[in-house]
Amino acid sequence: MKRIKQVLGTVALCAAVIGGGYGAASAVTSWQGDDYSYDWNWWQNLTNCDQEADSTATKGIYDFDLSGGSNGNVSDQDGANGVCASANTGGEIWRHRTCEIPNWWPDQCGNWQAT
């Protein structure tokens, strides 16, 4: 799988050089309402952004494979202040999604987005 992503990354880079910069290492974005998360740095990093002033924090959950359990998350706890949370995941993200994490209620999550 890593080899396929490397080939796809090379194709995207070539397309960017030929096509004027569009498509190079483009991030995949997951949405939950106005909140979102996206991967970057060749699927190594995840950024999570809380864009709703609703007193509900958000997290971007990521997996390194399709085994069914999440490998970690990046949480934006400070509301819609224009500052997002980012982290190096320590691996190659396979998929991620954005969730709101309300107190005393189940998390509301967007769809998984494969990178």
The torsion angles phi and psi of 7, rounded to 5 degrees, stand at -65, -45
pLDDT per residue as tens digits for the range 8-42: 343 333 333 333 333 345 589 999 999 999 999 99
pLDDT band of residue 49 (cuts 50, 70, 90) is: very high
What local confidence, expressed as pLDDT, does residue 100 receive? 96
Strands 57-63 and 45-49: unpaired
Quick check: pTM over 0.75?
no
What local confidence, expressed as pLDDT, does residue 21 receive? 36
Q: At residue 2, does pLDDT exceed 90?
A: no
Residue with the bigger pLDDT between 106 and 66: it is 106
What tokens were used for 84? 């997002």
Neighbouring C-alpha atoms within 13 Å toward the C-beta of 30: 27
pLDDT per residue as tens digits for the range 60-103: 999 998 776 668 999 999 889 999 999 999 999 999 999 999 98
pLDDT, mean of residues 44-55: 95
What tokens were used for 91? 């691996």
Distance of CA 54 to the CA centre of its chain: 21
